[in-house]
Structure 1
Amino acid sequence: MKHLLVATTASLLLAACAGGGLATTESSLQHHRWALASVNGEPVDAGIGSELAIGEHMAISGLAGCNRFFGSAKLEQGRLRADPLASTKMACLSDSIQQVETAVLATLTQGAEVRHEGRQLTLTGGDYVLGYRLADED
């Protein structure tokens, strides 16, 4: 019986290492503010100030591009989805800001696979990949 327990534990550890580590949890995302660094691998102008804050009970808020948003999110089976998500309705001043806005709001509302590694957070949705960096200490 002891050998079975050791073998099972070793198998679980190897599977976790092969899969890139432990799964992202709500507690690892909560109480942090994330600055958007890239959309689909392309850098985002830091002057846009797009950010995502995840608070207690997965309450989310932030700046998509030109509009602020807020709501609640769920993390289920490694996917983050904000439902419902509300936002202000101001017109964006440029196409580049509108593109960032569209990517952020679509990804959050449609749902995205979450990858959290240290100070990096990646949300991979159906149309966009959002790359965030931890902004708590900025």
Structure 2
Amino acid sequence: MSSALFVRSLLVAGLMMGIVGCASTTGHATAEGAAATNAATSADSLAQTNWELTRWTTKASVDRAIPHGDNGEPIQLVFLAQGDQYRVSGFSGCNRYMGSYRLQTGKLSISVKGNTRMACMSPEKAQLEQSYLQALSGIRSFTLDSGSAPRHLTFNVANGDVLEFVRRQDPPTPR
């Protein structure tokens, strides 16, 4: 590994550690539309679902490229519940992240509490990962396409960006 690449990797790793050093929580995103409002009445309505980020539109109405990670894995968000533990986890472009969520009184809040600390192989992916984690902490509202088995989830972010997710194969229900 060249010294320049090594230094860049260290800088990206340091940046990522700074991002994870503080947990970030959404501002209690409001449910929009009938399906999201219905889902927001039960903490378990998102439980055991897996979502892939498929579109990211900026405030300027520009679609942002969403490359898969170096291992071919897409950016994803997984909601898990077991007993009274409500967790989120996923892949943010270079690293895995984890945290918790709450869905109550018509609002969704997500708290990312940490992630792995692998260096991104490119500055562009490191920036995408940082932006994704910041977007999760800035969700202001969310929508779902259907009440019984939603297939499409949208987050409207405080900065004007819109993140669209498509439901993928759900994780197994814990025993």
Query: Normalization by structure 1: what TM-score?
Result: 0.71
Q: Distance in 2 between matches of 1:111 and 1:77?
A: 16
Moved more, 45-54 or 65-74: 45-54
CA 104–135 in structure 1, closer or farther in 2 if over 3 Å, else same: same
**Which has a greater percent of helix?**
1
Q: Quick check: 2:80–2:86 contact (8 Å CA) kept in 1? A: yes
CA 79–103 in structure 1, closer or farther in 2 if over 3 Å, else same: farther
| Aligned positions of 1:1-138 closer than 5 A | 20-22=33-35, 23=37, 24-25=39-40, 26-40=43-57, 41-46=63-68, 47-56=72-81, 57-76=85-104, 78-117=106-145, 118-127=150-159, 128-136=161-169
Q: Quick check: 1:59–1:71 contact (8 Å CA) kept in 2? A: yes
Alignment partner, residue 16 of structure 2: none
What is the identity percentage for the equivalent residue pairs of Structure 1 and Structure 2? Answer: 27
Q: Quick check: 1:60–1:71 contact (8 Å CA) kept in 2? A: yes
Alignment partner, residue 8 of structure 2: none
Q: Distance in 2 between matches of 1:69 and 1:90?
A: 11
Which structure ranks higher in relative contact order (CA pairs < 8 Å, sequence separation ≥ 6)? 2
CA 30–48 in structure 1, closer or farther in 2 if over 3 Å, else same: same
Q: Distance in 2 between matches of 1:81 and 1:98?
A: 24
Q: Quick check: 1:81–1:112 contact (8 Å CA) kept in 2? A: no
Q: Quick check: 2:33–2:143 contact (8 Å CA) kept in 1? A: no
Q: Distance in 1 between matches of 2:46 and 2:65?
A: 22
CA 21–43 in structure 1, closer or farther in 2 if over 3 Å, else same: farther
The amino acid that maps onto 1:50 is I
Q: Distance in 1 between matches of 2:108 and 2:131?
A: 15
Structure 1: runs of 5+ lacking an equivalent: 1-18
Structure showing greater Rg:
1
The amino acid that maps onto 1:38 is R
Alignment partner, residue 7 of structure 1: none
SS at match of 1:85: strand
CA 77–111 in structure 1, closer or farther in 2 if over 3 Å, else same: farther
Q: Distance in 2 between matches of 1:74 and 1:114?
A: 13
Q: Distance in 1 between matches of 2:153 and 2:120?
A: 25
Aligned residues: 119
Structure 2: runs of 5+ lacking an equivalent: 1-31, 58-62, 171-175
